[in-house]
Structure 1
């Protein structure tokens, strides 16, 4: 767990709490499947049988549930995704559903909802205004990339 930043640990803990539908501080196999599906992995991409096998590996104390410490251990072992221009451009294309070269408020809201981040129209508009240097009410790929540039 030592290689998780405080922000990553907090995100993992929030994800765990959201998945823990019973509120007992442990994830059942059903809750784990629900978590995997909510993250966007389909049955075809990550079959239930594979999730069950993975669950058994994660459940190191063999309690038939995954507690927060076991979950954080898994989070700390996940591969890091390098933030580079190619990955950012790929992400932008996923957001730009109509292929216009710009991300509209509705496209941004849909992309965030897919990640279970629900924002009001006003909040989404505020996000766009924060990066929309051209003032057209949308985010271009250049404006998107600028958010991630290090000074």
Structure 2
């Protein structure tokens, strides 16, 4: 239900805040299209971060280039995302596994994080999208 979706997103958002997500900070998400993807995107926004969507179907080199350019310290991933990125790309990132049966944030509050307490305003970054660019090099 929408209520369950919101509750899960709130719990994950509280976890992301605990991991140090701050306004305007890019947070990468590389997952197959699923409910977990929606939960992850909402959680990043609720925590104040700017989501950086990485499609697991993209070529590995392109994904690595976007990660290097945006430099997110945190990645939300599932098995498809981890496989697409490869182990080397994950070394410098904190990876939050969205497929965990009992996630470590399962007991966190289901209430919305307070945007005022986080210092969020409408002027903060919401997402970083990369285009192919006129040179063929992705640009954020």
TM-score grouping bracket, smaller chain normalisation = under 0.3
Decide which structure has the larger Cα Rg and report it. Answer: 1
Whose strand proportion is higher, 1 or 2? 2
What TM-score, normalized by structure 1, do the two folds share? 0.26
Whose helix proportion is higher, 1 or 2? 1
Q: Higher relative contact order by CA 8 Å / sep ≥ 6: 1 or 2?
A: 2
What TM-score, normalized by structure 2, do the two folds share? 0.28
